[in-house]
Amino acid sequence: MAEFRSLRPWFAAAFLASLALMPAIAWLTESPYYVTLFSRIMIYGLAAVGLNVILGVGGLVSFGHALYIGIGAYAVGILSFHGITSGFVHFSTALVCGAAVAILIGLVCLRTSGMGFIMITLAFAQMFYFLAVSLKQYGGDDGMSIGSRSQFGILNLNNGSVLYYVIFILLVVMLYGSHRLIHSRFGTVLRGCKSNERRMSALGFPTLRYKLTAYVISALVCVVAGLLLANLTRYTSPAYMEWMVSGDLIVMIVLGGMQTVLGPVIGSAVLTIIGDILSGLQLGLPWDLDAFVSDHWLALLGIFIVLVVITLKQGLYGSLIPSENRT
């Protein structure tokens, strides 16, 4: 197992270094599309890191975290629609709204567990999805375009490379914060609640308060991801809140390794890149098989995910790490 211990930090360093160098690689290869692609990977990786705070550490499976991505995106879209372009206002409004919604929903959802928790988080996400659809002034089901990106003074987010490095820095900060949280007393209590909540309550820990705090932190990370997504695409839509987006985040976590910090980002990269390749794959196959592959690439992606889950039970990145060192 010693070789795995030495491989782990090198793999993580190489992955983060490749993300840091991606704009330069895109410039050298004359492929600016890579900047957009990896910006999207990091944004969804950031959201997956947030969800993993309650999923990987707390054992709470939420099918409603796409709701918070939508809150972050709509904070940018609605304020920009009314002529407010300050990124500081966008950021603070998104966090305040996200925190308020997360506290209210968390107080309801966290009184349940198991399938009940899953279904209630899904129900709340669908309520907000249909609320966004009903906002005809802001595009309704079609969504709406955002005229310009958030303005943060000297930070010109209209420059794709600047936006890319803002996303990258926030991702690294969140990864570090997630690592510190997992290895703190707070993280230990969350793991205890996951293992045996009744015993933790008997020991005197206010388990609901701990789980609610973790839920709100998790939601706010997704809010930040939604704000960045709206700036990247210059567009906001109810589609950001669909339950399938929450499902994608869970798949990213499981694919990369939910017992790890970096695993959700690895899962986001693998899921996005393979999906991007399969959707435009041209193999020169006979009998219109190329068209069949392009039209049914989700089925092939599903087969890949099933194979990974069956053969690598700790995920792609998690399987590189001994069980005692996974976090």
pLDDT tops 70 at residue 181? yes
Report the DSSP pairing between strands 235-236 and 144-145. antiparallel
The average confidence (pLDDT) of the chain is 86
Q: Which two tokens stand for residue 42?
A: 């990091």
- Average pLDDT for 72-92: 93
pLDDT value at position 3?
Answer: 45
Query: Cα separations (Å) of 223 from 10, 71, 230, 318?
Result: 31, 6, 11, 26
Note the pLDDT of residue 302.
Answer: 81
DSSP structure class, residue 75: H
- The count of other CB atoms within 10 Å of the CB of residue 275 is 16
Q: Are 263 and 170 in contact (CB under 8 A)?
A: no
Using DSSP, how many helices (H) and how many strands (E) does the chain show?
12, 4
Residue 4: predicted pLDDT: 45
Region for residue 159 given its phi and psi (left: phi exceeds 0; alpha: psi -120 to 50; beta: otherwise): beta
Do 93 and 75 touch, CB atoms closer than 8 A?
yes
- Give the mean model confidence (pLDDT) for residues 116-125: 91
| Mean of pLDDT values over 60-78 | 93
CA atoms of 241 and 66, how far apart (whole Å):
5
Most confident residue range from 181-190, 219-228, 304-313: 219-228
Q: Is the pLDDT of residue 71 over 60?
A: yes
What does the alpha-carbon distance between residue 220 and residue 229 come to, in Å, rounded to a whole number? 14
The three-class DSSP label of residue 261 is: coil
Report d(CA 303, CA 246) in Å as an integer. 20
State how far the Cα of 56 lies from the Cα of 262, in Å rounded to an integer. Answer: 12
- pLDDT tens digits, residue range 214-261? 999 999 999 999 999 999 999 999 999 998 899 999 999 988 888 888
- Architecture of domain 2-325 in CATH? Orthogonal Bundle (1.10)
Any idea which of 13-17, 45-49, 190-194, 312-316 has the lowest mean pLDDT?
A: 312-316
pLDDT digits (tens, 9 = 90+) for 261-298: 898 999 999 998 888 877 665 555 555 655 666 666 77
